[in-house]
Structure 1
Amino acid sequence: MTTLSSGVAPAINTMRLCFYGAGSMAEAIVRGLLDRGLTEPGRIGMMNRQNAERMNELSSRYGIVGALSEGEKESMLREADIIFLAMKPKDAAEAIKRVRDLLRPEQMIVSLIAGMTIATLESLLGKPLPIVRTMPNTSSTIGLGATGISFSAAVSEGQRRLADTLFQAVGLTAIVEEPMIEVVTGISGSGPAYFYYMMEAMIDAGTKLGLSAEAARELTLQTILGAAHMVKATGEDPADLRRKVTSPNGSTQAAIEKFDEFRFKEAVFGAVSRCAERAMEMGAEIERKAKE
């Protein structure tokens, strides 16, 4: 068993990792860790409530250890150095209450559960454990994720570094104070869906105006990819890049004016705000269930 309380982050490949929940986000993190060679498949355990087919699929694909029986699940939880809570928010409170007596103070808990606060998780666990609250996004699946991270008071400096390393395996990380995690949810947690929605609209517009579906799709994909790379490669502010391609009284300006007519920036602000608000509502529901 690896000691996690020192100021120096231990090597991930010396630890046993347990994922309680085997959805797409848990799989993305597992894939990132293995692709970067940070650990071996045999040191990763995964479990879910009852989907044996999913566990067999993941075991076959990555070589990880899938727990199927209750005994196997209990052993995996007891022996883990790091436990990733990756169950659905609606199932979280009940699931954590069911296993909390198996956990030890020296284990590090990493929560992927949207809306669940550190205080609620501490209450559910019923004992002092170092807790890392995270908000990754689905682009983690291809190593281009963006993850917000915050820590409970019990997390040591070494554990902070360890958590940061874990999520850098699937993209970039931002360490934030916990109240900002909901804002992270509104920006990057749900953010990929906003761009997919924009892409849907652009492809639809292109086909309605006469392009083939294939041409509209490929042009849209390349345009968004190119725009993102331009911002990253040049380091320039997106507003400055936009102004450079917006000639006075030109076609781009005409398009921007149409966006403004429909209050595009207000719509985006409203969407991000509502997303953050909804995450807080989900957290409140989890807290209510935790007190039952």
Structure 2
Amino acid sequence: MAETAERSHEVPIGKVAVIGAGVMGETLVSGLLRAGRQAGDLLVSDRSPERLAVIKERYGVGVASAADAAAGVDTVVLAVKPQDMSKVLDTIRDHLAPGTLVVSIAAGITTAFLEGRLPEGTPVARVMPNTPALVDEGMAAVSPGAHCDAHHLWVAQDLMRSCGKVLSIPEEHQDAVTAISGSGPAYIFYVVEAMIEAGVLLGLPRGTSTELVVQTLYGAATMLKETGEHPTVLRERVSSPGGTTMSALRELDDNKVRAAFLTAMEAAARRSAELASGAG
């Protein structure tokens, strides 16, 4: 069952290094700053000197090599591509102070993989974020490793909470999380694309169709969040007997759209498991 770790904010998180200044790495840095963290408590590392220069200029944070960044902080966030993870771990392992928390936001990288390549007893946490973190509306799921205690878990959650909502889950559910919230924004964008195209097909200007669809999506999501009602209940309130909505929903059912979504998410979860096992 998903949980939220509770701990007093009187306990400081300390200094944080973000290794990898791509989209998610920069998102985390900007989110931490908006959440009130001081630029002096953040270090950023990236293999591109040009990218580091941009991050330093944009946010005023410190920059350093991966080894130096890892040596001088309390928490290291690994925001690199999965295929680069082994090299980064080899670079930082001998520079970590005892007790440094290592948080990975790379897809398919297990806590066992991290622990096997870091000093014995290193606390690690695995996180699956998603792209709405860019607008502080992310959904992240955190799984603790073998040496990650309650405080470490709270630190990992608090880092991700700067960009949205966070849950703590057993690692065995990370493939399902990847299929639902990790990949989920792409499914929503896919549906939105189709709805906009339908509006154009029906004669609307593209800008008008886009505005109608985006606001409808925003309003529907807000209803789900604010009312707490089951989506079936909300759907039925729109679906008058013999009306336009029922005609549309009948077509979706006839074309097995619901079944296609289930099958697609199962495929995403399988691929996540393959990546985690090293098969991909």
- Give the TM interval when normalised to the shorter protein: over 0.9
* Aligned: 1:64 with 2:65: no
Residue 132 of structure 1 aligns to a residue in which SS? strand
**Secondary structure class of the residue paired with 1:56:** helix
**What are the equivalent positions in structure 2 for 1:23-34 lying under 5 Å apart?**
23-34=22-33
Q: Structure 2 residue aligned with 1:174, among 148, 155, 167?
A: 167
TM-score, length-normalised on structure 2? Answer: 0.93
Gaps in structure 1 of 5+ consecutive residues: 1-6
Tell me, what secondary structure is at the counterpart of 1:240? Answer: helix
Q: Per the alignment, in what secondary structure is the counterpart of residue 126 of structure 2?
A: strand
Deviations 1:92-130 (A, max 9, x none): 122212321222331000010100111111112252211
1:153 to 131, 135, 146: 146
Q: 1:140-195 CA deviation, whole Å, 9 max, x = no partner?
A: 11110000011012112122222222211111111110011111111111111111
* 1:46 lines up with 2:47 in the alignment: no
2:201 counterpart residue number: 208
Shift of 1:262: 1.4
Q: Which residue of 2 aligns with 1:85?
A: 78
Partner Cα separation in structure 2 for residue 82 and residue 52 of structure 1: 22
Number of equivalent positions: 273
Counterparts of 1:1-292 in structure 2, within 5 Å, are 10-12=11-13, 15-37=14-36, 39-49=37-47, 51-67=48-64, 72-285=65-278
State the Cα RMSD in Å: 1.6
Within 1, Cα distance between the matches of 2:88 and 2:70? 13
State the SS of the aligned residue for 2:43. strand
Stretches of 4+ moved more than 3 A in 1?
Answer: none
SS in 1 for 2:278: helix
The sequence identity of aligned pairs, in percent, is 36
Pair 1:257–1:220, CA change in 2 (3 A): same
- Are the aligned partners of 2:67 and 2:91 in contact in 1 as well (CA < 8 Å)? no
Distance 2:188 2:67 in 1: 41
Q: Which amino acid in the other structure matches residue 35 of structure 1?
A: R
Instruction: Report if the CA contact (8 A) 1:8-1:158 is conserved.
Output: no
TM-aligned CA deviation for residue 40 of structure 1: 0.6
Contact 2:66/2:92 (CA < 8 Å) preserved in 1?
A: no
Supply the distance in 1 between the matched residues of 2:189 and 2:35 (Cα, whole angstroms): 28
Asked if the contact 1:105–1:127 (Cα under 8 Å) also holds between the matched residues in 2, the reply is no
Contact 2:178 2:272 in 1 (8 A): yes
Structure 2 unaligned blocks of 5 or more: 1-6
Instruction: Call closer, same or farther: CA 1:74–1:94 in 2, change over 3 Å.
Output: closer
In 2, are the aligned partners of 1:86 and 1:112 still within 8 Å (CA)?
yes
Q: How far apart are the structure 2 equivalents of 1:284 and 1:159?
A: 25
**What secondary structure does 1:232 align onto?**
helix
Corresponding letter in the other structure for 1:25: M
Deviation at 1:53, TM superposition (A): 1.5
Point out which structure has higher relative CO (alpha carbons under 8 A, 6+ apart).
1
Amino acid at match of 1:113: A
C-alpha deviation, 1:8, in angstroms: 6.3
Q: Deviations over 1:62-94 (max 9, x none)?
A: 111122xxxx44222111110001110111122
User: Are residues 8 and 36 of structure 1, via their aligned partners in 2, closer, same or farther at CA, if it must alter by over 3 Å?
Assistant: closer
